[in-house]
Structure 1
Amino acid sequence: MIKQLPITLLLLLTLQITAQEKRKFIYASVHDEVASVPKAHIINLNTKQGTFTNDNGEFRILAKPNDSLQISFVGYETKIFKVESKHLGIQQNKIELKKVAIELDEVEIKEHNLLGYISSDTKHIKTEKEINAESLNLPYAGSRILTPAERRLYTGMGGRPLKLEGFGFILSTDYIINSISGRLKKLKKEKAIEDSEKRTQHIGNNYRVYILHELKIIPEDLTRFVYFIENTNDFSPSLLADKITMISFLKLKSDEFKKLNPQNYKPNQQ
């Protein structure tokens, strides 16, 4: 029994360390002195995972206390945001960026024979034919461009499986190695997070007016409400295909969301 005690303590210590390493989503918005900053780049320097702010300057990313978030955008000073326990949860955090002056290179203006009329000036402008996959008639030209997460997953799986007559499908060496090492599982998780971000952006863009004016969700809670919707157990991506069904689902979840945030919503707003 005494010999088993150190093993038990080691197991408890391991479980405690694992719990401490678990990251949660941090919700925040990026703005300057005047307005929000859309398309700003956010990266967790500890996990190397990144994302971008939406059109309203809002974002979410997995983090834990003591993680460092790097926020950058052209024309602004890069900022390092230190994550604390108080920043985690469904509350909205605000991060302000400062603008920096950008010096442009000297531009040389040359003489030309343009008159300022489109009908005549277009005849004097020489254009070169665009060279791309479609103009060169390359294979798969015009196909949908893969997202960063899709490209990493596609590469990690070694591309498409090969089918040989009499042998069935032959998996690549990359697929086998990445499956054993656990990298493939990580890439699939990154792909799932990217898909989740696409769904939340779709909900925010297409149902913003309905959420704010009909469901009476305050603007400060819009991002948290959208993420709340996408993370509920009964949410399914198939709901996005039917607007009527999605509106009914939003109405149902708005009542739940308000009950979880009674400080912002009075009973008569339910």
Structure 2
Amino acid sequence: MKVKLLTTISFFSYQIGISQSEKLLHGKVVTGNTALKNVEVINKTALTSTRTNDSGEFAILVKPKDSLLFFSKEYFFKRLKITQENIEAKVLVVDMIIKPEELKEVVITKMPEIKLSSDKAYEQEKVDQYTIEKNASKPKTGVYDGTIENGMDLIRIGRMAIGLFVKEKEKVKEEAPKIEFKTLATTTCDQKFFIETLKLKPEEIALFLEFCDADPKSKTLLEHSNILTTMDFLYAKNEEFKKLKTEVQN
């Protein structure tokens, strides 16, 4: 009797151990009907990762309730909480949404103002024309007399060149606008993430991003942007945001 009891306990312990062990999950990442290659698949719970092949397929060890992240620069990242049904499925299909194409920034610079005195320019033009005509009328003797044919005022030309260089140095270019954290967050995460994952109302998203942007840590994330650290920051700020809303309502 004791032997049978021990055998039964061992059998159930083995079954429990098997059910809690990791299973190899097979999946495919697509966008519409197109397979996506080189998508990073991260098991955030187990701290393991892999990438999709040319056919968009991947395989990774998981357990129920593990969090999987799917990340590609051209697409909004996807977060999936693994269920037993996902593990039992033959192939898990993950559909990713492409990011809207961003226009390149255009830097507009101020053109230097050119101010000319019409009288002086006119008078100088007459002097130059007179010099050219005078030198052209001289007979050529073949002997150099120290003058320059069609002579020009080299000193004046030199001063004009120096003036152009000085004006070029004095030009002040308008700085390109710096990206804000809320811009980084909205281009990295789609609206579905804020509504379904963070449980925010659509009208609260803008206020929440302003709340995140006010945190000095958001400036550090802009300098060293990373999908995991950005996501962790949004989760943490969401908890603070919920507490703040509760305090205001009370």
Same fold, judged at TM 0.5 (above): no
Q: Which structure's residues are more often helix, by fraction?
A: 2
Give the TM-score, by structure 2 length. 0.36
Larger Rg: 2
Whose relative contact order is higher, 1 or 2, with alpha carbons under 8 Å and at least 6 apart? 2
